[in-house]
Chain A
């Protein structure tokens, strides 16, 4: 249960730049009134961001991960229930990996 000064300094530094990214990004981009192209990029940002997130681990995951991913998407489409989609995906991957062993 200690709080060392060097660790505290690192945490405060990280917290500061993280808040700068969260709030400063909004403040700066609003003040500068981005051109239409930048606004179009922002509209396409969420989909691109999460695709960039999931693609490397999915490709590396192999057939079990691909089957799990297909189930996640199918369940999400059917039920619009995030929790059910995630649990189903994990269960499918777990089951397939267990069978492969």
Chain B
């Protein structure tokens, strides 16, 4: 397979991600508000946001934040939440294996759930331009920094109560991403159902935040693999 890395691919990825900016808004506002409430300075909040670029990890870490900063607990929690991103790069290997230098290691630095999902869909549709992945990643990085900054700046003036309809935008973003990933009931129905069920059970059992996600993902993905290999001749 010939893989390219062009400015046009980057621009297409950047534009493709624009609608997702909306989905990040409530999440980013929340992280910004929480950074302010936990006593982080604006510089500290933005340094964390631009270097980590990982909403779920930031949210979790901010919830356990203390003064002085919990260096080890925060580092450990961030690793646990972001471990889910480790297999994403490997799944995108058909593109990444053809890249070298900053194009490879820089693109990997921008890898997030959304850019991964959009790029997997792009690959399955026959996409050959790895610039797309970096375009989505950079687009959402800009959006993420902007909405967290906005949340911080709004500070105490806007307090969205938990359960505000705007928070549904985060769930809606992931739902709309699931639609192009669906490959048909035969392949996906059972693994997807089990992934949701295990995550829900772990959540109900009161397991701490990253665990329901990790357990559900592992259960669904390994079941999908078992079923797939049993069907294979």
Contact B168 A61 (CB under 8 A): yes
User: Are B90 and A9 closer than 8 Å at their CB atoms?
Assistant: no
Q: A56-B212, A82-B19 are in contact. Are A13 and B71 (CB under 8 A)?
A: yes
Report Cα–Cα, A10/B57, bound state, in Å: 13
How far is it, in angstroms, between the C-alpha of A54 and the C-alpha of B176 when the chains are bound?
11
A13 touches B75 (CB 8 A): yes
B113 interfacial by beta-carbon distance below 8 Å: yes
Q: How far is the CB of B227 from chain A (nearest CB, A)?
A: 9
Inter-chain CA distance A89–B170, complex, in Å, is: 10
Expressed in whole angstroms, the Cα–Cα distance for A89 and B26 within the complex equals 14
Q: Complex formed: what's the CA distance from A58 to B79 in Å?
A: 26
What's the tally of chain B residues with a CB closer than 8 Å to chain A?
A: 92
Report B79 CB to chain A, min CB distance, Å. Answer: 4
In the complex, how many residues of chain A place their beta carbon closer than 8 angstroms to a beta carbon of chain B?
75
Q: B interface, by DSSP: helix, strand, loop or mixed?
A: helix
Interface pair A55/B197, CB less than 8 Å apart: yes
Nearest residue in A to B173 (C-beta to C-beta)?
A86
A43 CB contacts on chain B under 8 angstroms? 91, 224-225, 228
Judge whether B6 is part of the interface by a CB distance below 8 angstroms: no
| B174 and A54 contacting across the interface, CB-CB below 8 Å | yes
Contact among B70, B108, B182, B198 with A23 in the assembled complex (CB-CB below 8 Å): B108
Q: Which residue of B lies closest to A88 (CB)?
A: B172
For the complex, what is the distance from the CA of A43 to the CA of B206, rounded to whole Å? Answer: 29
Residues in chain B near residue A86, CB distance under 8 A = 19-20, 22-23, 169, 172-173, 176
Instruction: Please list the residues of chain A having a beta carbon within 8 angstroms of any beta carbon in chain B.
Output: 1-4, 6-30, 34, 36-38, 40-59, 61, 65, 68-69, 72-73, 75-77, 80-87, 89-90, 93-94, 97
On B, residues with C-beta under 8 Å from A are 18-20, 22-23, 40-44, 47-48, 51-54, 57, 61, 68-72, 74-75, 78-79, 82-93, 96-97, 105, 108-109, 111, 113, 116-117, 120, 165-166, 168-169, 171-183, 188, 191-193, 195-200, 203, 212-213, 215-225, 228-229
